Structure formats: C-alpha cells, structure tokens
Chains A and B, each alone.
Chain A
Amino acid sequence: MDFFLSLLVKGLTLGCIYALVALGFVLIYKATSVINFAVGEMMMLAGFLITAFVGLYGLPLAAAIGLSLLLMVLFGFVLERGVLRPMIGRPVIGMIMATLGLGIFLRGFAPVMWGVDKKNLDLMLPAQPLRLESIVVPPVDLAGVGITLFLLACFAYFFQRTRSGIAVRAVADDQQAAMAMGIRVSTVFALSWALAGITAVAGGVVWGNKIGVDQYLSLLGLRVFPVVILGGLDSIAGTIIGGLVVGASENIFGGYFDKYVGGGLKDFVPYVLMLLVLMVRPYGLFGREVIERV
C-alpha cells in the first residue's frame, strides 16, 4: 500500500507539471484552432534564456526570470505579427506547419547560441525533500505543482470572467461573427501567443530545474501530447485532469509492471490511454463538443 501511495503521489505531482507544458497547447488552440507544435521548443528557449542571463551575464535569478518573461511575451507578439498573421484566413494546416518549422528552427538555433552542453537551472530550493512517512516529494516538484495551480487559476479566471477572455473564446467560436462585434482577431491571436510565452517560461523554470537545460528539453512538448488529447485540446481544466491521469497511470503501471516487461511502460501507457479515451470521446475528456440542435 505504501508503495502504491508513493507511486501515486509521485505520479500526480509529475502530472501537474505535465499540465504546465500542456497549457501551451491549449492556450493557442483555444483561440486559433492551431496545434502549436513548438510548445516544447518555446519552453526550451525560455530555459536557455534564463540560464544565459544567470550564467553569462550574472543576473540574479529573479531578474533573469522576469527578463525572460518579457522576452517570451515579445516573442509571442513578433511570432504572431511576422509569421502567423499573413496566414489568417488560410487553411489552418499552414499555421500548424509554421509552428513545426519554428520548432525545428529553435531546436537548431538555441545550441548554436548557447552551446550543446547541459546547463543547470538552479532555483536555490532546499535540497531536503518533503517527507510524509514513506512518501517523498522533492521541493522542485512541489514548486512545480504550486506554479501550475497558480497559472491554471489565473487562466481560468481570465477566460471565464474577463471581457478579454470572453473575446478570445468568441473568436475561437466564430471568427467572422467576432469581427462583426468589433473584436480584433489579430490582437486576440497575439494575446494568446503572449500567454503561451508566459507558460513557456513557467515550464522552462520547472522542467529546466528538474532535468537540466539543453536541446532535449524540447522533447517534452511531444511527451505531453497525450495529456492534451486526453484532456481536450481546448480545455484548461482538461490539462490538469489529463495531466493527473497520465502522470498517475504511467507511474503506477511503470512501478508495478516494468520489471516483467523490461521497462519502458512509462513512455507507452499514456498513448494507450489516449487511444482508449479517443474511442469514447473524440474531443477528449473535457474538450468542446460539437453542439448540434435538432
């Protein structure tokens, strides 16, 4: 039982910080119906920026994170203006390909700028893990859970309660009708990319601290894809539920059955889960259903 509990708690915390990355998909999809395949790369870029500011320019950590936030928001705006706006009104697949290209570019660009060796992103958290009987939670995971829940709450409030948030959802529903209400679609898109930039910094901080910053940090983007599909591509709540389900199940399956199959279940279980959910709910657990009136 102890073993199970510790696997579960570990899985759930892991799931929480998966959700952090997954947010990058959802924010963009919600407004623009584009799957942003550069999520992992944007996170990697944020990680590189922070380590560069600290390591090369000797900035204090807080300042480095603040500056990266600013730069990533700017990055979001520039990206929207330069790469994506010309494609508004064209088939969505064009934009999706553009995010793929952007990802590949960033994966090549970052090592050229800052080198291929793994850098530590030290958050100066206490090294002593939190213990509750047999359950052990490292401080970084705890910080990750905290950041995730905080961001989720912020975004949920933004989309449900603020007029700008409602405008974003209106654009997601019907772009032309939104235009007819005076909503500037390009501004909404830019806003979404800026928000995605913010989550990229959060993800970069947490995951950079957990596994170090190098180009392989970007692989997390695809790793959390089952989380996004499971939760629903356009659901904020779905990211956290999807994250928890994937995190817990991959940890539990891995913990119990890896010894029989020689390992690797962790990478495999989330995709099986994703396929099973898709059979029952094609838009994910919490995704937007297609409303049909009869």
Chain B
Amino acid sequence: MVAAPERPLLQVNNIEVVYNGVVLVLRGVSLQVPQGGIVALLGANGAGKSTTLKAISGLLRPERGEVTKGSIEFMGERIDEKDAADIVRLGIVQVMEGRRVFEHLTTEENLIAGAHIRRDGQIRRDLEMVYHYFPQLKARRNVKAGYLSGGEQQMLAIGRALMSRPKLMLLDEPSLGLAPQLVAEIFDIVVRLNQEEKVTMLLVEQNAMMALQIAGYGYVMEDGRIVLDGDPEKLLNNEDIKEFYLGLSAVGQRKSYREVKHYKRRKRWLS
C-alpha cells in the first residue's frame, strides 16, 4: 500500500444491514478500496460478503434490505441512500453471483443492455473492446445467452458490466461453478482489466488462494463482520486462513476434519 494520504475510491464506514426490518446481517463492517486496486473480500457461505456488495451497489432495497447505520462513500460522495440506477451512473457496477445473464437476449444484446446508462455514442467501440478481451463471446454474439456455457456466461456477465464503463467493479464469486482452468482464465482477465482499463475491483471469493494471488489487500468476513484484514502475504500466512480457506494445517498437510480443534479455532474468531 502506498503511504500517501490519498482518499480511497470507496469507503465503507461501520455499516449495519437489516433485512425485513428485523434480521441483522451485517454489523459494523468497514472497508476501503483504493483507486486502481484489487481488494479481496473473503469468507464462508453466509458470512455477509454478498450483502456487503449489494449494500454498496444499492441492490439491497429490492430484497427488502436496508443500511441502518454507518455510511458508504464513493469518491467522497455518500451513496448509501441512493438508488441502484443512480449508483451505476456514478460508476459502480456489480457482477452478481450466479452470472445472471439475460437468458433470452443474445450475447450482443446483453452487452448493449449493459451499456444502458451510456449516452456517449461509443458503444460500438466498447463492444469491440469487450470482444478483444473475450474473443469467445464474439464468436457467439448472436446466440441466446441462456445457451452459452457457464464460463462464457461468466465472461458475458463481466463484459456486460464493463459496458457501463465503471470506475469500480464489484465481482461476486466469479469462480462459482467453473472448472479450475476457466477460473484461472477469468482471474487473468480481471487483472488485465484492472491494469489496462483502470477498473478498480472489489472481489468477493470463496476461492481464497486465487483471490489473494491477484489482490493487493484482503478482508475476511465471518458472521456479518470483518474479522481479519491485511496484505495478501499476511493473510496467506495466517494460521486460521490456512486452515479454513486453504485446507492446510500448520505443517502444510491436508487438514483432517476429525480434529476437534477445527471447531474451537473457529469459536475464537467469533468472540
């Protein structure tokens, strides 16, 4: 991390999220995403990673969730009260978990839908830009997205988000349900987009090893709060991360789940 006192692109300050007015799913989550960086947000199922992303992108409200405490600032502007549609216009786009392509639209129509907020007449050029990163999509531009393979759909989801020309991309589990080789390919492109198109990334992953290889900073969530954060080296060397996310015990062997300690360790985190 650079030591300069630069304001981060995105700042989440101590937010609390409540669903249906009663269910508290996030409590006191704070994180920062620096301009131009890749930040990983790790954690197990149900830890609140997706909810954190939706709180940022404004997609909570349709699910009856609400940010009840804290604030979210993007480029110095508070966005936690804004509509999803306005937040996209500010330059934050979310690639939702499970790809969520428009199945009955063709690949190219999906990309055009992704450019919905654009009024600058550069859409043709950006289509080519997306096809440059994902040549497979170009070959299948007139195929209904529902008939694409899982990997192609994930590429389309990322390409579609790219079409809005975002400053910050929120990626929710891009590796979900994909073969390891495809995962590597997707992560590769994420890095290229970060470097070549200057898109800042906030990456939610269960695949901690992959995520920490490309991230500049990482946060670990557990049960609705951030329990650990630091540089990838620090996290990768952390005993708990090794055990729970990488499946390795201290001496580098696979962890046996028969040991009781597994459970006790976890307990300590929650306190």
Q: Interface on A for B, CB 8 Å cutoff? A: 89, 163, 166-167, 169-170, 172-184, 288, 291, 293
Determine if B113 is an interface residue (Cβ-Cβ < 8 Å): yes
The 9 A-B residue pairs with the shortest CB-CB distance in the complex, in nearest-first order: A182-B88, A291-B146, A182-B117, A177-B100, A173-B102, A170-B113, A179-B84, A184-B85, A170-B102
**Given A291-B103, A291-B146: A181 in contact with B59 (beta carbons within 8 A):** no
Assess whether B105 is in contact with A175, with CB atoms less than 8 Å apart. Answer: no
Determine if B140 is an interface residue (Cβ-Cβ < 8 Å): no
CA distance A226 to B169 in the complex (A): 46
Chain B contacts of A182 at CB under 8 A? 84-85, 88-89, 93, 116-117, 164
Determine if B147 is an interface residue (Cβ-Cβ < 8 Å): yes
Residues of B in contact, count (CB < 8 Å): 34
Q: Which of B30-66 contact A (CB under 8 A)?
A: 57, 59, 62-64
CA distance A173 to B105 in the complex (A): 8
Contact for A180 among B59, B115, B144, CB less than 8 A: B59
Assess whether B94 is in contact with A180, with CB atoms less than 8 Å apart. Answer: yes
CA distance A180 to B166 in the complex (A): 12
**Given A291-B104, A291-B147: A181 in contact with B113 (beta carbons within 8 A):** yes
**Given A181-B88, A183-B85, A293-B146: A288 in contact with B160 (beta carbons within 8 A):** no
CB distance from B255 to the nearest CB of A (A): 34
**Given A163-B112, A182-B88: A174 in contact with B62 (beta carbons within 8 A):** no
CA distance A77 to B191 in the complex (A): 45
Contact for B164 among A169, A179, A181, CB less than 8 A: A181
Q: Interface on B for A, CB 8 Å cutoff? A: 57, 59, 62-64, 83-85, 88-89, 93-94, 96, 100-105, 109-110, 112-117, 144, 146-147, 150, 160-161, 164
Assess whether A167 is in contact with B57, with CB atoms less than 8 Å apart. Answer: no
CB distance from B118 to the nearest CB of A (A): 9
CA distance A287 to B158 in the complex (A): 29
CA distance A172 to B59 in the complex (A): 17
CA distance A40 to B103 in the complex (A): 32
Assess whether B88 is in contact with A175, with CB atoms less than 8 Å apart. Answer: no
Assess whether A175 is in contact with B62, with CB atoms less than 8 Å apart. Answer: yes
Other than the given A181-B88, A182-B85, A293-B147, 10 more pairs (CB < 8 A) read A163-B113, A172-B104, A177-B96, A177-B100, A180-B59, A180-B161, A181-B93, A181-B160, A181-B161, A183-B113
Assess whether A166 is in contact with B164, with CB atoms less than 8 Å apart. Answer: no
Assess whether B116 is in contact with A180, with CB atoms less than 8 Å apart. Answer: no
Assess whether A167 is in contact with B94, with CB atoms less than 8 Å apart. Answer: no
Chain B contacts of A293 at CB under 8 A? 146-147, 150
CA distance A291 to B101 in the complex (A): 12
Contact for A176 among B59, B85, B93, B109, CB less than 8 A: B59
CA distance A89 to B115 in the complex (A): 24
Assess whether A169 is in contact with B102, with CB atoms less than 8 Å apart. Answer: yes
**Given A166-B112, A167-B113, A288-B104: A179 in contact with B147 (beta carbons within 8 A):** no
CB distance from A138 to the nearest CB of B (A): 39
Smallest Cβ-Cβ distance to B149: which chain A residue: A293
Instruction: Identify the interface centre among B85, B100, B101: most chain A CB within 10 Å of its CB.
Output: B85
Assess whether A169 is in contact with B146, with CB atoms less than 8 Å apart. Answer: no
Chain B contacts of A184 at CB under 8 A? 83, 85
Assess whether B114 is in contact with A179, with CB atoms less than 8 Å apart. Answer: no
Contact for B62 among A169, A176, A181, CB less than 8 A: A176
Smallest Cβ-Cβ distance to A170: which chain B residue: B113
CA distance A174 to B113 in the complex (A): 12
CA distance A182 to B63 in the complex (A): 16
**Given A180-B94, A182-B88: A173 in contact with B103 (beta carbons within 8 A):** yes
Contact for A183 among B101, B110, B116, CB less than 8 A: B116
CB distance from A236 to the nearest CB of B (A): 13
Assess whether A180 is in contact with B112, with CB atoms less than 8 Å apart. Answer: no
CB distance from B37 to the nearest CB of A (A): 22
Chain B contacts of A170 at CB under 8 A? 102, 105, 109-110, 113, 116
Assess whether A174 is in contact with B85, with CB atoms less than 8 Å apart. Answer: no
Smallest Cβ-Cβ distance to B100: which chain A residue: A177
CB distance from A90 to the nearest CB of B (A): 11
Instruction: Identify the interface centre among B93, B102, B110: most chain A CB within 10 Å of its CB.
Output: B102
CB distance from B139 to the nearest CB of A (A): 18
Chain A contacts of B84 at CB under 8 A? 179-180, 182
Chain A contacts of B161 at CB under 8 A? 180-181
* A-B contact list, 15 entries, CB within 8 Å: A89-B64, A167-B116, A169-B102, A169-B104, A170-B105, A170-B113, A179-B84, A180-B59, A181-B88, A181-B160, A182-B85, A182-B89, A182-B116, A182-B117, A293-B150
CB distance from A30 to the nearest CB of B (A): 10
CA distance A174 to B59 in the complex (A): 13
Assess whether B102 is in contact with A179, with CB atoms less than 8 Å apart. Answer: no
Chain B contacts of A291 at CB under 8 A? 103-104, 144, 146-147
CB distance from B109 to the nearest CB of A (A): 5
CB distance from B87 to the nearest CB of A (A): 8
